[in-house]
Structure 1
């Protein structure tokens, strides 16, 4: 049985051989912050899907169940303090995750489930549309913490989020489903050149934070949402203070992006290649272990 100081995460998300997304970007920071991590891979790809091609198998719900049964039969479920889920590309696999969560909670009723409902960004889905009702109706109501982006909030709530008032209405939609903490890791509701992040806790603070964009306006990085979810899991567990967790998570995320931008090769005038934009995670070890909070959260309520 997990004790009050247990720090072990079952992390169910994608794996890539090259680069940093999914379990590859989540495991290292969690370990640096004192967590044991058991990665269970939803896919195993050569690289993330932003390259010109990617190769590798997608795990089935039967394979997931088989692996989980091994953990269960060895009486390991009670060791988990947290379940973290990210990219899943198969609705039947996702439904099986719901069954897994219920079994782990039997072994540890205090388990914290952090759900990053990875479905798309910037108005585009990159998972089958069949995942949406499974997330909305079966998985989301089981979560303690969720970390969607702005587009994913719109998908789940069925409402446009184009104003700050709409953000808080969307937060209430999740709270009505008993989700304690909702974090929108980024939105385009800030001033030009600024992202705006939001956090709402049921019967707790509502927070917003302005985050200056880094690098060229057309530059984007893959895996930042996965990194955000893992960092927030760690910091919210460590302090129990969501404001501190929010600020430290964004501090590290910004530091990793800054390091990545600094280490980009000199431009030859062409577009930045996918491999050049991979997050410089290992090079940011100190910033992960000791985040320096430069941006403060604004208390809304």
Structure 2
């Protein structure tokens, strides 16, 4: 499997491609990383150094890959945080060119906009770009519960309303929706859930809620789920494998006391997930 991953990169820590590439490689995926920024560290620190890469330079890298005749071998285009409309245009164009070269290729988009605690933290133009132009051309999207509501203009809270919101998102174009950070009022205290919905049904998995914030965990989640799902076509299995791997990564990070994901130290959790959390079909 080959994944073209168009995301940010940092020298210190693990977000964007700096979070997604290694776990994908560890499960046997060939990754072609294309960078949209090259920062010293993620912006959560409040200060960073390094350049945003101009959309035309990102496009030039993609054209260079295309000139090697590789687009026909790409199975998945993966994208995460889109810092500006220019990058969005480049990604949409790349998806069209990859699919022209390989009609079996899919596009997986993590529509990063914000979260329930922080609200929407991207430029006002980004949700409009995602909702009107990016999501309609995606095959898989991986929003958190807040982003799902923001995209669809709904209020997902319960299992039923989250299912309805996922269906509204699927009506926009994607056939598969992975919803992360699902927090319903009637769930068991100290837990958090993920849900996946596709043409075959809907499934939920529940894990303990760890008392931490981990930048980059969503990037790992989107990457692993997409790869597992593309490989097997089994949404429930992909959900179980991804949940197992990401939970163990987060637990190791929390135990370490470090702010950054313990990405390399957790590599066996990607290659050999424990499958410790049962997946429950809800439709």
Do both proteins adopt the same fold according to a TM-score greater than 0.5, normalized to the shorter chain?
yes
Structure 1 residue 100, shift from structure 2 partner? 1.1
Q: Give the SS at the match of 2:214.
A: coil
Query: Aligned pair count?
Result: 280
Render the CA deviation track for 1:253-296: whole Å, top value 9, x for unaligned.
Answer: 011111112222xxxxxxxxxxx221111111111100011111
Alignment of 1:60-209 (within 5 A): 60-122=54-116, 123-189=118-184, 190-202=187-199, 204-209=200-205
Match of 1:238 among 203, 218, 231: 231
CA contact (8 A) 1:42 1:87 kept: no
Instruction: Determine the C-alpha separation between the residues in 1 that align with 2:49 and 2:119.
Output: 21
Segments of structure 1 that go 5 or more residues without pairing to the other structure are 1-6, 265-275
The match for 1:211 is 207
**RMSD value over aligned CA atoms?**
1.3
TM-score (norm 1): 0.89
Instruction: Determine the C-alpha separation between the residues in 2 that align with 1:43 and 1:188.
Output: 32
Asked which structure has the greater CA Rg, the reply is: 1
Runs of 4+ in 1 over 6 A off after TM superposition: none
Q: Give the SS at the match of 1:206.
A: strand
Structure 1 residue 33, shift from structure 2 partner? 0.9
The match for 2:25 is 31
Segments of structure 2 that go 5 or more residues without pairing to the other structure are none
Instruction: Determine the C-alpha separation between the residues in 2 that align with 1:158 and 1:284.
Output: 37
CA contact (8 A) 1:13 1:23 kept: yes
Structure 1 residue 13, shift from structure 2 partner? 0.8
Instruction: Determine the C-alpha separation between the residues in 2 that align with 1:178 and 1:138.
Output: 10
Render the CA deviation track for 1:88-133: whole Å, top value 9, x for unaligned.
Answer: 2011211221111101111000002111111111242222110111
Instruction: Determine the C-alpha separation between the residues in 2 that align with 1:277 and 1:220.
Output: 8
